[in-house]
Amino acid sequence: MKENWSQTKGHVVSPVRGRRAPSTRYEWRVVDIPAAVSRAEARTMLTEHAEYGQWELARTLVFIGGARRVWLRRRTMRVVRTDLV
C-alpha cells in the first residue's frame, strides 16, 4: 500500500535565532526526515537540495527509531551596490 505524501517526504525546519549578524558566512536549513523514508529517497532529496539550492551537508543526527535530522548550510553572498558613486 502506498503511503501518504506528507508521511514520506522530509519536513524542513528553518531555525530562527533573531537577527543574523552581518559577518555570518553561512545560511542554515534543518531538515527532519521521518523513519518511513528510505535511505535512497533521503539521498535523492538531499542531492536535489545540493544541486539546485547550493546546499552542503553539515551535520546528520539519527534518532532511535530511524528518524533523521540533517543540517544543511550554504554560503551567503554579500552584494555591494556599485551604482552609488
Q: Which of 26, 30, 33, 29 is nearest to 8 (CA)?
A: 33
67 by Cβ neighbours in 10 Å (0-12 / 13-18 / 19+) ranks as middle
Domain ranges of the chain: 26-78
Cut 0.75: pTM above it: no
pLDDT digits (tens, 9 = 90+) for 22-57: 557 888 889 999 999 999 999 999 999 888 888 999
Query: What does the pLDDT read at residue 75?
Result: 87
Q: Which three cell numbers stand for residue 43?
A: 539521498
